[in-house]
Structures are given as C-alpha cells and as structure tokens.
Structure 1
C-alpha cells in the first residue's frame, strides 16, 4: 500500500465522525449539507412518532401532522432558512401530548411554540440548553407543572419567554385540582439573570411567592431591555420598587392579583412610558396618582 493510501485510510474514519457543523476538506459542501438536512428531517419525523392527540388527557390517536413524502420545509408549522435548517416550529393548540425530545437535535431552531397543548408533565426531561439559538419560546397553557428547570436560563438569546397560564390548560380540560409551575430552585434570580436580551416576559400564574419582595429589583437589574412584563397571580408581594424606573423600554405591565399593596413615590415616572397598565386586585392603598390617566400614551377607556 502506498503512503498516500495509508494516509487516506487513517483519516477517513475520523472524518466521518465530524458533526454537521464542521466544514469538510475532502467531501463537498453539498454532501455535508445533505447529511445535515437529513438530520433535520429525521428529528421532525421522530417528533411526529412521539406525539399523540390527547383531548381531556385521554389517548386519542397518533398524530399525522405532516405528509412524510413531501419536503419537510413545506410542512405546516415548520419554517426553514435558505439552507434547509429548521428555524421555526409552531404546533400551538393542537391538543398534543407525548414527548418532544427530538426537537433538541434542531440546533438552528430560533422559534418554538407549543402553546395550548395537553402535555401534563414537568419540563425537567427537556434539554433546552441544546437550543442555543432560540429567541422565542412559548409553552403557555399546555399543562406543564413543577419547577422551571435551570436549562431555561441557558437560553441567553431569548427575546420572548412565555410560560404563562398553565392553569388555563387544566381548566380547559375540566380538571378541578391542578399543580402549578413554580420558581424555587433555581430561584428567580438564577432563572433570569442571564436573559439580558429579553424583551417580553410572561409568567402569569407561575408561583414565585417564595422569592419575597426582591423580585422587583431582580427584574430591574437583569432585564434592561424589557418591553412587556406580565406576571399576574404569581404571589408577588409589594411594594412595587422604585428601580422599575430604570426599565426605559417598558410599555406593558400586568401585575393583577398580587398583593402589591402600594406604589412607589416615583410611579408616575415609571408609568410615563406605559401604553398598557393593569393592577387589578392588588390590594392597593394610599394615594393613587390619577395623573396616570392623563398620560398621552395611555389609552382612554
């Protein structure tokens, strides 16, 4: 055997172990791209096999979301980039249950929407850290419960995070008693401190009551780009902190059904940028700055 043949036979096994993200020297870019796209399709096919329809938490049938004979980039709810990588997956309100482990092989995924399904499980089995490019995550109203895992905090590119209203899901399925989604360990600070690009945070009905009164300062210091904050029925205690004035982009604030008690003296300065404000059932006392209703950006109803 010639020295050249020996060199090729030595490197080929190692070469074929390279991941799809590697840039090959010997094989063409088209060959590697085709292999990568096969991985994308395989993950979606596996997802369809792992899901089933579950109206009212009862097994109905295996799902047939897509025609597997067609191009996966044309499948309903699937968005691809120009190279065929799956960057969006939207399967909202389809009464789905089962598991979605296979999506964590879609490393280019940027948007994931599983809102309004019937998973009725915890989030701990899922490797969210495997989706480093995720910018939008919506798991609202899908019957998730238990602790929010630390893996969510690794999604440092998130722009929008919606884990809200898991109780709506249980009510929709006529369940009288339902477990809650909660933030304990990791605590609230650990969950959001790395999400500095976050613009929208929806945690309605997520239990954060163990965090005391520090939740307000944590948000102010960790999420400088926040535009929308919705945390109704979270067990938050007041008062609303003055440091909210540092959230220069905050335009929508919903803190309904939390015992906030009273507002800070600089609340008028905080609210001057708001276009939507909801503080229902917050046990507010003392003087309320009625000048808020005269702000030009606040809608008049």
Structure 2
C-alpha cells in the first residue's frame, strides 16, 4: 500500500510533464526545398486577371509554414495549400514541386487556361483537390486519374467565369479522352465528386452505371449541367453511403422503380429541371434523414403532399413549377426545422395553414401562383425570422395585419393579385424595404414589396 501511495504522485507528475512537453512542441520549420517552390509560385501569380498586380502576401523573412494558406507536417513538408478566392491569375506550375501535398485548393480564381500542362501525377499523395470556379477549360487531364488517394475531387462550375470576366471566352471543362469511366476507375477512395458544368455528354447514357459500379464509397455526387441523359439506373442503390445527390438541368426524364430505396439514406436531393414526369414518390419527404429536396421546374411531375410527422427533419422543400395538386395538410405545421418552403406555380387548393408563417426557423415562404389556394395572414411576433414572403396570384384575403411591421428581417414581400382588403398598415414603414404600390415607390431603401394589383388594398 505504501509503495502504491508513492507511485500515485510520481504518475501524476509524469502525466503533467508529458502534457507540458506536448504543449510546447516546436512548430514545424519549412524546408528549403519546400520554401523555394512557394516563392517561385508567388512570382508567377497575379492578384487579378489583368496581370497588373503581383501576388505578394508571403514574407520571405518568415518561416513559410506560417504563411497564409500554407500548412506543414511535423517534418516541415508542405502538405496543404489553400489559395481559394484570391482572384488569382497566372501560372502555378511550381506547386507540383511540392511532392508531399495532401490538400490543394485553387477554387474561385481566374486562371483562364487548360489543365493539360500541369503535372498532377507529381503530387501522388493528394487527397483533396478543389479547382472549382477558376476559369479552367478544355479536356480534364488523364493524370488526375492517377491520384489514387483522392477522397474529394471538385472541378465544378467553371462556366461561372463567363459572368464575371468580360474577356473570358465561353469554354468549359469536358470529359472525352479520358472519359468519365477512365477518370474515376482508379479513384476507389473517392467520397465526394463535384463535376457540375463539366461536359460529360460523350458518355451521357453510361454515367450512372459507371459511377455506381466504381465509386462504392461515394457520399456526395454533384453533376448538374453535365449533358447527362436518363433514366437514372437502379444500380445507384449500390452507393450505400450516398447522402447528397445533385443532378440539376440534365434530361434524365424519369426515376427508376427503386428510387425510394436509392433515396433512403439521402440528406439532400436536387433534381431541378430534369424533365421528370409521372408521379413523384412523396414518401421521400418522410424519410428520417432527408433535410433538403428540390424537384422544381419539372412541369409534368405530379404529386400530393403527405401527412408530416412531428419528428420530420426537412429544412428546405422546393416544388416550384411542378404539377403538384390537392390540399396542403395542416401537418405541414409539424416541420419545425423548415427554413425554406417553395410551393409556387402549382395547383394546390383549399386553405393554407397559417401557422406555417410562424414556424420557428422559417425564413422564406413562396406559395405564389396557386390561384385556388386560400388563406389569411396571421399576427406576426417580433422574433419572426421571415426574410421573404410571396403570396401573389393566390386567393388570400382579409386585412394585412399591423404586426407585419414586426418582420424586421424582411427583404422581399409580394402580395400582388390577391384579395386583401383595407389599407396598407402604417407599421410597414418600420421595414427597410421599398413599397411598390403600382404607382411608384412609396418609400425607398433598395429592396421591394410588391402589392400592385392587390384587390381593394388602398
């Protein structure tokens, strides 16, 4: 017992020593062969796309492991480089002399070049590669398929450069040689794949089978605007870890019979403007994990809202410009996590449950262009989070409540072509918005409230 009593203080002191020594471990010091490529990189980069302003943010007198966007391992090797959203242009060839890189993020820049001259096979340890939204165009290089440790690959949204750079010729990334199958065949560890706006049309009918058979660990698949053709393949159910699926603006036409099974583990589903028809399996809205659904702009897609249980996890529901109809169940008030609700341009009828406007997290509600949908506005508490409310072209009626002035976060309010009566509440002057009465601006602050043609409102 005496020996044990003596050991306890010793063990305590030892643990304190180890904790203290770990706290004061020396920071990694950048090696010369790592520092040199970074300094070279700085001389070849410009902080705008006119090549008039040099990229000079790294002080050569400071350890490069402390530079902004640079991270090192314990031996002083650069393993992470984040130069995202710096509005950079120029050449970045020297990056590929950093052979220990694990993470490379060049998203949100203005390189306006192809990727064919860059040696991606020289950084074989790469696990995360993000080149999105940086004005790259042309063929995706074969070397990327040799990055066998990749966990996340993002080459998306290069077309966005067209809108922010008048000098940019309208190009895009494409997958021809290598095609999609060749690109991903060695990327067995990939969990996130973002190829939005990459032209994959040369393999448009085979993409689904290829992806589901090769990328068994996939959690995120985002392929909007890729020129894909449908239908979705039943084998997507093989992707047992898939939690996010985005296929917007691809004419996939219809969903496979087992789509409910495919969706069973999804957290987010987006099939906007996919030329979908027939009946949408609305049981998907009741899946325990689903938080976001956008199937808008599928004008031939039919469905009705289900009864929602109190534990539903939905945060965003967008059904705009579909062919949904029927009543809106009062159980929609059970969606206490709902932030965004868009039921516009449909054929809903009956009475709209007005407690929806009072849901604790709701920020945007659009039920416009449902001409047979009736309802009245409720009294709004001062803590209401609504930022956008559109009721135009509905059969809403009654008076506008004076408490509408409590909506201090409101930026957009559209009430045109309704059946409201009475006067516009004076409290609306409390809001930092523009009031469009159909006869000019009644109050100016840069945002809009449209009540034009709202019947009998004076």
Normalising by the residue count of structure 2, what TM-score does the alignment of the two structures yield? 0.57
Does residue 279 (structure 1) correspond to residue 268 (structure 2)? The answer is no
Instruction: Tell me the residue number matched to 2:406.
Output: none
Structure richer in strand, relative to its length: 2
Cα offsets for 1:37-60 (capped at 9, x unmatched):
211000101110111122xx3122
Work out the CA distance in 2 between the residues paired with 1:229 and 1:74: 34
Partner of residue 78, structure 1? 70
User: Which residue is 1:248 aligned to?
Assistant: 240
Residue matched to 1:27: none
Whether contact under 8 Å (1:147, 1:184) holds in the other structure is yes
The 3 A distance-change label for structure 1 pair 297 and 161 is same
1:224-243 map, 5 Å: 224-243=216-235
The number of residue pairs the alignment matches comes to 266
Q: Which of 16, 22, 40 pairs up with 1:46?
A: 40
Task: Supply the distance in 1 between the matched residues of 2:68 and 2:85 (Cα, whole angstroms).
Answer: 13
- What stretches of structure 1 of length at least 5 have no aligned partner? 1-32
Q: Write the distance in 2 (CA, Å) between the matches of 1:157 and 1:169.
A: 29
In 1, Cα distance between equivalents of 2:246 and 2:178? 24
Q: Hey, what does 2:135 align to over in structure 1? A: 143
Give the whole-Å Cα distance in 1 for the aligned partners of 2:194 and 2:43.
Answer: 30
- Maintained 8 Å contact 1:145/1:179: yes
Largest Rg, 1 or 2:
2
Pick one of 41, 58, 62 that aligns with 1:66: 58
Partners of 1:212 and 1:249 lie apart in 2 by: 23
- Matches of 2:147 and 2:246, distance apart in 1: 24
Q: Determine the structure 1 residue equivalent to 2:254.
A: 262
How far apart are 1:169 and its partner, in Å?
A: 2.1
Matches within 5 A, 1:1-301: 37-54=31-48, 57-174=49-166, 177-299=169-291, 300=314, 301=316
Unpaired segments of 5 or more residues in structure 2?
A: 1-27, 292-313, 317-458
Equivalent pair of 2:161/2:168 in contact (CA under 8 Å):
no
CA contact (8 A) 2:260 2:281 kept: yes
**Aligned counterparts of 2:40 and 2:168: Cα–Cα separation in 1:** 34
8 Å CA contact retained: 1:116, 1:169: no
Deviation at 1:177, TM superposition (A): 5.0
Q: After the TM superposition, which segments of 4 or more aligned residues of structure 1 sit over 4 Å from their partners?
A: none
Distance 1:46 1:209, change over 3 A: same
- Contact 1:166/1:181 (CA < 8 Å) preserved in 2? yes
1:175/1:251 CA distance change after superposition, 3 Å:
farther
Q: Distance in 2 between matches of 1:231 and 1:44?
A: 33
Structure ranking higher on relative contact order (CA contacts 8 Å, 6+ apart) = 1
CA distance in 1, matches of 2:169, 2:140: 20
